[in-house]
Amino acid sequence: MKIPNTRSLDLSQTFQFINSAKSSRWEWSYNSEKHQLVAEMDGIQIAKLFLPWHYEWTTDQKLEPIEDFHLGVVAIRSGHAVCGYFHGENLLDHKVIRAYMVRKKQGKSQIKHLKTKGKSRAGSRIRLEETERFFEEINERLNYYQTAFPIHRWGIACSKTLWPYFFQSDTPPPFEQQSKSLLPLPVHFNQASYEELQDLSKVLFSSHLLVSEIGEKLVENLEFKEIPKNDQEDNW
């Protein structure tokens, strides 16, 4: 599990890169919705730096650790979901949730089916009830995290098609859709599984540098240790 087309940086390399970049002519801006630093020069985007989630970018433009960090995450696919709680960099709790939401012959989720043929048949009604209960179970777990732990940030991986069912569930999540504490998880989940949740920690608690084609030579001129590039598709 990796952020496509990025170079991974540990904390030492992250601070080294930020300090080197600050001494250059680059202009930095912080994207709070994605927890990224964006570098530009003369109006041209050079690089994006995905920051570690247990650190914050302060108003005086410094990367500082969040003391006693608590994180709740959820990854949702049709009929599959996984919720997790991290304290510091450690995954301490998880729950995998499944539901009968996919029509076997067509391989289509019940939500998509309802848009075309309604919910008159018994099988469709059962799948609809399963769908509603599916999102209630997810949100029950997330609300448990909110009650039991002082959560600093929430991470979510979920298709926008499913957002109305997630946020408008009879048991709503412990955050709003526009909450500042809610961030999109920067990786793709194939199955929404426990194994993927374990791999997620390796991504969230380090930095990842995404460089534009124009920025490649400029980054090479900075004094920091070069990191191998992940051999995956672009993510600009």
Q: Supply the pLDDT for residue 158.
A: 94
Sequence-distant (≥ 6) Cβ neighbours of residue 112 within 8 angstroms: 161
Q: What is the DSSP letter of 229?
A: B
Beta carbons of 97 and 77 less than 8 angstroms apart: no
> CA-based angle 187:188:191, to the nearest 5?
135
Q: What DSSP string describes 110-152?
A: HHHHHHHH-S-SHHHHHHHHHHHHHHHHHHHHHHHHHHHS---
Number of H helices, E strands in the chain: 6, 14
The pLDDT tens digits of the residues spanning 80-105 come to 999 999 999 999 999 999 987 655 55
C-alpha of 156 from chain center: 5
Q: What is the DSSP letter of 52?
A: P
Residues present in the chain in total: 236
Expressed in angstroms, the distance from the first to the final Cα of the chain is 17
Q: Supply the pLDDT for residue 148.
A: 98
- 79's tokens: 């009929």
Q: Supply the pLDDT for residue 102.
A: 59
The Cα–Cα gap between 16 and 168 comes to: 44
**pTM metric for this prediction:** 0.83
Beta carbons of 155 and 183 less than 8 angstroms apart: yes
Closest listed residue to residue 15, CA positions, set 54, 49, 46, 66 = 49
Name the stretches of the chain with pLDDT < 70: 101-127, 221-236
